[in-house]
Structure 1
Amino acid sequence: MDPFSQLILSIAVLSFLTFQWLFHSVSPWVSGRVSSGFLGLGPQQKIEWNSRTVSTFHALIVGVFCFYILLFDDAINQDPVWGDATLVKINVGITTGYLISDLLLIFYYWSAIGDRYFVVHHLAALYAYYYVLVKGMLPYFANFRLLAEFSTPCVNQRWFFEALGYPKSSKPNLANGVLMAVTFFLVRIVVMPIYYGRMYLVYGTQAFYRVSWGGRLAWIFSSFCLDVMNLMWMHKIARGCYKVLRSSGGPGTPVRNSRKAD
């Protein structure tokens, strides 16, 4: 294994250990001091609280890094299939460690945070990221998918407000609900034509035919699975917003749906 591959593996392992530490130690300690309401939660709610805290931290770190790469990494923008994937591999390595950590927690605490859709989501993402980390292919598309992380903090914050007993009509809840719906729509739905348009442009090119059949399957199948779930979640969010808008006469937050949408 070459030195850079060893570095990426080390980043993924360190990421896994860091997110486990954040879940088991940091989040409970910080949350108990920042929010008195955390101490009054039941055991299962505390598990989900810590899971969402870790999820928010991951989303902010990876999302900002992803946006930087899209703006300033000329290598992957000029060659989205085989461009220099150095920065993308680092970002994907962090996400890989998080996904494995989260999968472990989902299975271990299934009664509290188990969700079959997130198992499918995580496995599909890990399958696709294997080709990025090991084969160095499709860096632009792998990084582009991480834009979706920008919607995660608002989704998690909505659950925090609900767990703490904030009314749906409260101003913090209303503001977060509107921001969540708008952000989710922008980074998960609006970007679909851009993503698939870029995919269409490289289809049939020499760079495309250099991608193995396994890589093409990971690219197309994983993208399809993730976007089907994004459309399902967007439907639930829009339907919930509509219900709250009708009942409150103003912008509102959606009803409870899934554990999180990362």
Structure 2
Amino acid sequence: MKQPLLLLASLSFAFSVYADNHNIDSFSKAKRLLEKQVYYDNKITLYCNAQFDYQKHVMPPAGFNTTKYVKRSKKVEWEHVVPAENFGRTFVEWREGDSACISSKGKAFKGRRCAEKTNKEYRYMQADMFNLYPAIGSVNALRKNYNFTMLPAEQNSFGSCAMKINNRKAEPPVTSRGRIARTYLYMEQNYQHYHMSQSQQKLMNAWDKMYPVDDWECQRAERIAKLQGNKNEIVESRCLISGKI
């Protein structure tokens, strides 16, 4: 019985190694590919369903408003649905820095800049296109690295856009919850540097069941898989069950 078990373990290890992004380690390149080869015919933001164009100009929905980061509300940005800080701080370079992280003025630095400079595994995670979605810049800025949850019924934070942010928590609109959930599940499944809390896992599993995949989510996953060289097995399995692929 030992040999089959060893074989199974080896296959499982091989799958885990190649299930994540090991092709694109540039955040800038990932954004360019998303703009030109994934979202070229579906230029709609994740949270507010706002249209954007090739110059990254956003056309917010009627009734959208914000009192902070007003200039950024005019541009689309690529948001890490699982925030970069939430997995980045598991890297020692992010927390403590590295001997290579010295500025031109001789000052040591750490955080995202250091992790990006010195750790390729971090760069792969940061550039994973399955975790990147277009968002109105001000929404991206105000969401920060806050976890998603269900907030009390109250006025939306952005007028007609049903995105809520309060007390360092965020509640996304119904239309985006399924995609968010399957992104979180993908990131945890494929990267040892990211783990959800028990409460976050419960919420994402619930959203995954409550808000099924649509045609665009399946098409998006297929396009990214061809460019990035790995699949989002979570999304693919839901698309197969639903008959969308």
Question: What's the TM-score once normalised by structure 2's chain length?
Answer: 0.28
Question: What's the TM-score once normalised by structure 1's chain length?
Answer: 0.27
Greater fraction helix:
1
Greater fraction strand:
2
